[in-house]
Homo-oligomer: A and B are copies of this chain.
Amino acid sequence: MTIQLYCFGESGNSYKAALALELSGLDWAPVFVDFFGGETRRPDYRETVNPLGEAPVLVDGDFRTSQSGAIQTYVTELTGKFGGESRKDRYEILRWVLWDNHKLSSMAGMTRFLMNFLPEDKRPAEVIAFNQGRLKAAYATLDSHLEGRDWIVGDGLTNADLSCCGYLFYTEPFGFDRGDWTNIDRWLSNIERTPGWKHPYDLMPGSPADRA
């Protein structure tokens, strides 16, 4: 049975799940979520898709979960991929996935939304500047960790990479420029060179071009 992923192209959180599914070789198909049309905020979405009102959501027969880190864990459980080689690796991956949810993707996703997907006269300048300061500290931590490393944990692609890269391939401005962060830039290139890699807008339905 084909795994369904409720997702949309602009969502880096969806991308983390979609990229794990795609690179794992599992049979999956996207189900478009009309986030910008308000779908995740409608009662029927909470009732029938996800009570937490979020995307992505994975549905595999009777199994259903949300949160990209939980979906990545499911992909690892099914395929044995991206979960690390040792107990030490597994904990390192988990803490980087949590760190990403806590400090990187949550903040990057929100800031990118505020700067690109709100009407210009509704963009909160103080919030954007504050978030960019927080993000700069997160980029610095990640860049420093990647000094001398090709991957965040161990010798290959893991869920740590698939989580932390979630928003970093988008070109809409949110205060992140690959050129400013040598090690992050090299690491993103490693991910891009992984066979089967696709940009979010090529992997999932929905992009700003649809609404232009």
Task: Knowing A73-B94, A126-B124, A127-B127, say if A102 contacts B67 (CB, 8 Å).
Answer: yes
- Quote the shortest CB–CB distance from A169 to chain B (angstroms): 20
A108 to B201 alpha-carbon distance, docked (Å): 32
**Contact code string A144-161 (vs B, CB < 8 Å = 1, else 0):** 110000000000000000
Which residues of A pack against B, CB within 8 Å? 51-54, 63, 65-70, 73-74, 91-92, 94-95, 97-99, 101-103, 105-106, 110, 124-127, 130, 134, 141, 144-145
Known: A51-B144, A67-B95, A70-B95. 14 other contacts (CB 8 A): A52-B95, A52-B99, A65-B91, A65-B92, A65-B95, A68-B98, A70-B98, A73-B91, A97-B98, A98-B98, A102-B102, A102-B105, A102-B106, A103-B106
How far, in Å, is A92 (CB) from chain B's closest CB? 8
- The answer on a CB contact under 8 Å between A98 and B141 is no
